[in-house]
Amino acid sequence: MMEEVSEKITRLDFKVGIIGLGYVGLPLAREFLKAGFDVLGFDIDPEKVKKINRGVNYLYHMDGNFIKKFVDRGKLEATYNFSRLKEVDGIVICVPTPLGKHYEPDLTYVLNTSETIASNLREGHVVILESTTYPGTTEEEVLPILESSGLKVGKDFCLGYSPEREDPGNPRFTTSKIPKVVSGVTKTCLEVIDRLYSKVVIKTVPVSTPRVAEATKLLENIYRAVNIALVNELKVVFEKMGIDIWEVIEAAKTKPFGYHPFYPGPGLGGHCIPIDPFYLTWKAKEYSVHTKFIELSGETNEKMPDYVVERISIALNSRKKAIRGSRILIIGMAYKPDVGDLRESPSLRIFQRLTDLGAEVEYYDPYIPEVTEGRKYSLWKKSVELTPEVVSQFDLVAIITNHSSIDYSMIYRHSRLIVDTRNVYRIKQLQKGKIWKA
């Protein structure tokens, strides 16, 4: 059976089903389509399904024409009818893995999706989990659900884990240009999954077990979280000493060995770095291990939005103003430049905190025209226009997300006061009490 599956992959006679058409699933669909596979996308959001079937792209950082091109060719379709899973040969799971109220893993989407797959599982199916999770999820959680169908892994169907490595908005490293870690529950599963991904990415990196692949993803993001926490802490320390952390980093990165630059900011955002480390801290408790280093890094990064608010308060005080009653304009609500992704964005917490303290807060973001109800915040705001007249009306402008399309020189000319969390204004001569770093 699995030899036939491998041959179908080689011939590109293998239909790929992708569950979850967001920042991971849709770019992955594009690469399978470019490689010559047919793709059937699944999502519980009927608006996403309708847009794809109309050829509309809803991810700003991606090529806007690719969806229409493949829909018109009959190569791409989307649906919210999950009984159609029987039509596809491969099933890739790209659903969210958020945290619960007490920072415990919430596998609701993964488990519900697995149950749906199990009820539609057939011989020859290849199932791959890409959602970030703790080591053991694929074999301890997903596998028993799939085998409840009566089919056996490695004989009747394949199962493996391949962590997503998306970096939305990064033109240098699109999905196909990033090496892909792959794993399988059995040797046969690994061979089949490796063959499939070899068709769409520059290089595959096979590992011995799904647990290794799951741990790899966590290591990648914990590495970033810890190092960002370090420079965020140093930012606060150096500010007290009158030292510019950005100048220190620029000098340090001239060392050609033993150092890699990380940059401070207003806090962590996105679905990976603020969340993934806590998946490991939770799982580690099962082995009576307390991950102090990871948890301390998380605490440090979580404090950064409050530090930004403190710096805003100090900047306003320098002009004999309080936060209460001040008009503040936030530049950038997305969690990173040049994407329209609000998930875990520190801008949300900064906005809410300033509002709670009595400020009149507005925002501008070219990628996010409106902010509505989210997982933690319900702001219900629309982006203002960014014009000299609008900027001049605010007591302070806070640069939180440094989108490349924004005219920062215009903001400088027409603003009264600026708090810069991204080192947009690098020239010291510009500051003179008008620009405050945070």
Residue by residue, pLDDT tens for the chain (438 residues) are 778 888 999 999 999 999 999 989 999 999 999 999 999 999 999 999 999 999 998 887 777 688 999 999 999 999 999 999 999 999 999 999 988 877 788 999 999 999 999 999 999 999 999 999 999 999 999 999 999 999 999 999 999 999 999 877 777 888 889 999 999 999 999 999 999 999 999 999 999 999 999 999 999 999 999 999 999 999 999 999 999 999 999 999 999 999 999 999 999 887 777 777 888 888 888 899 989 888 889 889 999 999 999 999 999 999 999 999 999 999 999 999 998 888 889 999 999 999 999 999 999 999 999 998 666 666 789 999 999 999 999 999 999 999 999 999 999 999 999 999 999 998 655 556 899 999
Residue 232 lies in a domain: no
Total domains in the chain come to 2
**308 and 196 in a common domain:** no
Q: Of the residues 149, 172, 207, which one is the last residue of a structural domain?
A: 207
My answer on whether 49 and 194 are in the same domain is yes
Residue 231 belongs to some domain of the structure:
no
pTM of the full structure: 0.90
- 61 located within any domain: yes
Domain residues for the domain of 149 are: 2-207
For residues 33, 35, 36, 37, the Cα torsion angle rounded to the nearest 10 degrees is -60
pLDDT score of 373: 64
What is the pLDDT at residue 432? 64
Based on the domain organization, do 61 and 165 belong to the same domain? Answer: yes
Q: Is 38 a member of any domain? A: yes
Assess whether 200 and 344 both reside in one domain. no
Same domain, residue pair 50 and 161: yes
Task: Specify whether 47 is located in the same domain as 188.
Answer: yes
Structure tokens at 418: 């600026």
- Residue 7 maps to a domain: yes
> Domain boundary at 156, 186, 207, which?
207
Domain assignment of residue 113, yes or no? yes
Position 376 scores a pLDDT of 67
What CATH number corresponds to the domain at position 167? 3.40.50.720
Q: Are residues 195 and 331 in the same domain?
A: no
Instruction: Identify whether residues 199 and 310 lie together within a single domain.
Output: no
Q: Is 272 an active-site residue?
A: yes
**Catalytic annotation, pick one of 94, 158, 189, 272:** 272
274 found inside a domain: no
Domain final residue pick, 160, 179, 207: 207
Q: What's the pLDDT at 202?
A: 95
The answer to whether residue 109 sits within a structural domain is: yes
